Amino acid sequence: MTEADLAVVLAIEQACFPRGWSCTHFLAELASERATCVVAEQDGQVAGYLCLTVLLDEAEILNVAVDPSSRRCGIGNALLQWACDQAVRQGAKVLRLEVRASSAPAIGLYQRWGFRQTGLRRAYYEDNIDAVLMDKKLMEEDVDAV
């Protein structure tokens, strides 16, 4: 992800999250030495993004979204594969994330990827929506051989 991607990234963010990240927040992550952000493209257009941080042996997906018009096309899977690859290569043993409890499709995707619920933050998001905390133990096999 570069600053040139931010207009599209912010449009996706607003389409996916009522009170998502601001431009300032994305710029801070792009400037951070600990975070890495990537975009996924479909037909030459940004269709999704993911921001990841790795600290010691733990990685965390800070933000991930796929344009609603590009869902169920493999973009989410590609972004998760990238996150696993990066986390393992940087020495992480676990990959963490949080997701809105109301986002059943996202929770299902994470479960298919081996994430397990580890906690719950009550009324964490707007409208008193809970945050589901999820972890995935990482192994060398999680790195895509391609």
Let me know if 110 is a catalytic residue.
yes
User: What is the full DSSP assignment across 11-63?
Assistant: HHHHHH-TT---HHHHHHHHH-SSEEEEEEEETTEEEEEEEEEEETTEEEEEE
Active-site entry in 110, 124, 125, 126? 110
Residue 49 annotated to the active site: no
Q: Taking the CA of residue 12 as centre, how many other CA atoms within 13 Å lie in the half-sphere pointing to its CB?
A: 24
Which entry of 49, 60, 98, 125 is annotated as an active-site residue?
98
Distance CA 7, CA 9 (A): 6
Cα 17 to Cα 102: distance, rounded to the nearest angstrom: 12
Catalytic residues: 98, 110
